[in-house]
Structure 1
Amino acid sequence: MQTKTIIAAIALAFAGAAGAQEVVKIGYVGPLSGQSAHLGKDNQSGVRMAVEDLNAKGFKINGKAVKFEMVSEDDAGDPKQGTTAAQKLVDAKVQGVIGHQNSGTTIPASKIYYDAGIPQISASSTSPVYTNQGFNTTFRVVSNDFKLGSSLGKYATQKLGAKRIAVIDDRTAYGQGVATEFLKEAKKGAGVQIVDKQFTTDKATDFNAILTSIRSKNPDLVFFGGMDSVGGPLLRQMKQLGIKAKLMGGDGICTEALPKLSGGADDVVVCAEAGGVTPEQEKKLDEFAARFKKRYGYEVQVYAPYAYDATMAIAHAMADAKSADPAKYLPFLKKVKHDGISGTIAFDAKGDIKDGALTLFTYKGDKKTRIEVIK
């Protein structure tokens, strides 16, 4: 009698396992603590929203509905913590990773995902180094620093007419990268002088010494390579010291939070966001932003739509491959063409976004206001 009961229990367990829904784990990693936590959570919320949407519509792989789960790790924007977080995701057997946010954490972590054969899509890292390592698992859904920095350099000199330019970077992979590309292009401008070059850190709060030096050079534009958590206080102190120059920067400072962090950014800031939508796509982005605010109670900062699209691109590739196995869907991710919120998601041979756009912004009434989209 006891043997029959055991056999019946085993048979029932096998029947339950056969009918169980497949779980697909999507890893997310970014700064969920520290100075850039608001941006990391923006990314995370984009991934969560995509996972919820996929589950709500009963997404199928090879004809069977699957359940997506997000597995999150905090890298605090720190390279060492980033590699630890990456290994945790590998150990958790995630089938794809969205992250990291910062180039400085994304680049060292990418080797860990490559060794494990897990596709990684960053929704915000822009350093060219990331996709130039020869790893077939690295992808991004935004333009890299070559385009971001050079486009800003050209705009500063040709459209804003800047002649006396000071440059500050935070010594991170992102900050140095975008500042370097900005400088290369800005120097081509007729009559342009780079009057000062200064450095800070991504944890700094006091900029009196470097700004006093810059003020004595009388610049008409200051370029900052770094994030809004430093760029905001930097702008606040520029105004306190009477520096009248415009502040320019990349997507790191181009956030909804910048006016609050700087004590006001009206008509002072020009920045660029890696990505951009054409007029016909604006409706989709507006609808996403409205859904996002209703779901989370706050505005999209910068990266949420790109993190959402990155997640959907992975799901699209899995469906094409009829498998959530990274080794099987990776070749399909390389040739994916997904109609996303931020535009068409398709990758070149290195894993960079094809035909990546940039959007230039300023601030009016302390609201981020689009100037134009650059292809």
Structure 2
Amino acid sequence: MRLTITMAVLTAAGFVASANAQTVVTIGHSAPLTGPQAPNGKDNENGARLAIDELNKAGLSVGGQKVTFKLDSEDDQADPKVGVQVAQKMVDSGVVAVMGPYNSGVAIPASKVYNTAGVPMLPVASNPALTKQGFKNIFRIGASDEQLGGTMGQFAAKTLKAKTAAVIDDRTAYGQGVAEQFVKEAKANGIQIIDQQFTNSSATDFLGILTSIKSKNPDVIFFGGYASQGAPMAKQMKGRGLRAKLLGGDGICSADMGKVAGEAASIVYCAQGGVSLDKTPAGREFLQKYKAAYNIDTQVYAVSYYDGVKLLADAMVKAGTTTDKAKITAQLAKTDYKGVAGTYSFDADGDLKGAPTTVYVIKNGLPVPYGQ
């Protein structure tokens, strides 16, 4: 009799434990967390963590099972080889999806690893080649180079009334891609490209390049690259007395740009994907939550990673699974999710449909929408 009672108690305890059990779901994050681009990588990570904290606090059930989310954030150092190693590590550890990579030069080779394993990836990496590979697991949560570079080409011609432009890119997949799209749109709008120069993603001295460009006196200089090079470039342009404005994509459109360039950042015009956050109630709320959580201002894509984690969780709920990557991928392909930065739905290539872009200037160290 005692044995029967004991077994009954143990069985009942087992049911309670089972009812209270939670499924732990690990989401990967690949970005440069060290080196010159670390502020952007950490910003992306912060956005993803903020979303995960909120999901865990609210409590979420998928397929009748309570879920706890974890973030496995790895430093890919903005290096393609390291990024591929990170991708293989993520796949081997069983992550359900990956936020990132941030850099196009990392995302393109890493995407092959994730595609082979069927792991959905949600990058902001903007080079059009990323989504032209025929993979079905890529869902770009930011604007592409076509949209970013194209926006700045039109802005240079129609708003700044530029007639001539010089172009510099850092030879990364991102830098080349956004510069090529600027050139294409600038030419279509009647701007003459009078010089094209190249640097690398670790350079900080541009005096030789700028001296050569100054002799040609362009109205604008477009830089395809990141703030870690764009900020010293802006300072050296001012120091050399160039009259041109410095234009760029989302890579230079950050708080870090204003912080490092100082007064020279006043010559900078740049494009970001998405609407201006301070123009919507949801955007303002996000900025306040981010500042309260981390005591710093956002850079560029924290909100995209925040939205990305939330839309990924929404896809799991609708697919009814946290483990079947094929079902999650299929749900992402047909998602229509309203986030803070806009509505997310994807075309057949995995590009964000109708991705809005906003042109910014740097005021008081921060990007501010042009004309505001």
Fold equivalence (TM over 0.5): yes
Which of these residues, 287, 290, 293, is aligned with residue 289 of structure 1?
A: 287
Q: What SS class does the counterpart of residue 252 from structure 1 fall into? A: helix
CA deviation string 1:197-227 (max 9, x = no partner)? 1000000011111111011111121100000
Q: What's the counterpart of residue 300 of structure 1?
A: 298
Q: What's the counterpart of residue 173 of structure 1?
A: 173
Ranges in structure 2 where 5+ consecutive residues have no aligned partner? none
Q: Residues 293 and 360 (structure 1 numbering): CA distance in 2 closer, same or farther, change over 3 Å?
A: same
1: CA distance, partners of 2:294 / 2:189 = 44
Contact 2:98 2:119 in 1 (8 A): yes
2: CA distance, partners of 1:25 / 1:320 = 18
Question: What's the offset of the Cα at 1:128?
Answer: 0.6
Q: What's the counterpart of residue 314 of structure 1?
A: 312
Question: What's the offset of the Cα at 1:85?
Answer: 0.7
Q: What's the counterpart of residue 188 of structure 2?
A: 188
Q: Residues 159 and 116 (structure 1 numbering): CA distance in 2 closer, same or farther, change over 3 Å?
A: same
Q: What's the counterpart of residue 103 of structure 1?
A: 104
CA deviation string 1:288-340 (max 9, x = no partner)? 01110110110111100000111111101100011012122211111111110
Q: What's the counterpart of residue 163 of structure 1?
A: 163
Letter of the structure 1 residue corresponding to residue 31 of structure 2: G
Structure with the higher helix share, 1 or 2 = 2
Contact 2:30 2:99 in 1 (8 A): yes
Letter of the structure 1 residue corresponding to residue 132 of structure 2: N
Q: What's the counterpart of residue 115 of structure 1?
A: 116
2: CA distance, partners of 1:62 / 1:277 = 36
Q: What's the counterpart of residue 80 of structure 1?
A: 81
Q: What SS class does the counterpart of residue 122 from structure 2 fall into? A: strand
Contact 2:252 2:270 in 1 (8 A): yes
Question: What's the offset of the Cα at 1:369?
Answer: 1.3
Contact 2:157 2:186 in 1 (8 A): yes
Question: What's the offset of the Cα at 1:193?
Answer: 2.3
1: CA distance, partners of 2:103 / 2:347 = 21
Q: What's the counterpart of residue 29 of structure 2?
A: 28
Q: What SS class does the counterpart of residue 286 from structure 1 fall into? A: helix
Letter of the structure 2 residue corresponding to residue 149 of structure 1: G
Aligned identity (percent) is 45
Is 1:260 the counterpart of 2:267? The answer is no
Contact 1:267 1:362 in 2 (8 A): yes
Question: What's the offset of the Cα at 1:150?
Answer: 1.4
Moved more, 270-279 or 34-43: 270-279
Question: What's the offset of the Cα at 1:151?
Answer: 1.5
Alignment of 1:184-223 (within 5 A): 184-190=184-190, 192-223=191-222
1: CA distance, partners of 2:44 / 2:185 = 30
2: CA distance, partners of 1:212 / 1:50 = 46
Question: What's the offset of the Cα at 1:350?
Answer: 1.0
2: CA distance, partners of 1:189 / 1:296 = 42
Q: What's the counterpart of residue 242 of structure 2?
A: 243
Question: What's the offset of the Cα at 1:275?
Answer: 1.7
Q: What SS class does the counterpart of residue 154 from structure 1 fall into? A: helix
Letter of the structure 1 residue corresponding to residue 317 of structure 2: A
TM-score (ref. length: structure 2): 0.93
Q: What's the counterpart of residue 39 of structure 2?
A: 38
2: CA distance, partners of 1:305 / 1:355 = 17
Contact 2:142 2:304 in 1 (8 A): yes
2: CA distance, partners of 1:111 / 1:14 = 43
Q: What's the counterpart of residue 128 of structure 1?
A: 128
Letter of the structure 1 residue corresponding to residue 81 of structure 2: K
Letter of the structure 2 residue corresponding to residue 32 of structure 1: L
Contact 1:26 1:71 in 2 (8 A): yes
User: What is the total number of aligned residue pairs between the two structures?
Assistant: 366
2: CA distance, partners of 1:286 / 1:236 = 31
Question: What's the offset of the Cα at 1:164?
Answer: 2.0
Superposition RMSD in Å: 2.2
Question: What's the offset of the Cα at 1:19?
Answer: 4.6
Letter of the structure 2 residue corresponding to residue 133 of structure 1: Q
2: CA distance, partners of 1:65 / 1:23 = 9
2: CA distance, partners of 1:303 / 1:370 = 15
Q: What's the counterpart of residue 329 of structure 1?
A: 328
Letter of the structure 2 residue corresponding to residue 367 of structure 1: L
Q: What SS class does the counterpart of residue 178 from structure 2 fall into? A: helix
Q: Residues 208 and 265 (structure 1 numbering): CA distance in 2 closer, same or farther, change over 3 Å?
A: closer
CA deviation string 1:54-109 (max 9, x = no partner)? 10000111232210111111101110000001111111100011010011101111
Contact 1:55 1:67 in 2 (8 A): yes
Ranges in structure 1 where 5+ consecutive residues have no aligned partner? none
Q: What's the counterpart of residue 142 of structure 1?
A: 142
TM-score (ref. length: structure 1): 0.93
2: CA distance, partners of 1:206 / 1:355 = 38
Q: What's the counterpart of residue 364 of structure 2?
A: 365
2: CA distance, partners of 1:339 / 1:292 = 19
Runs (4+) off by over 3 Å: 10-19
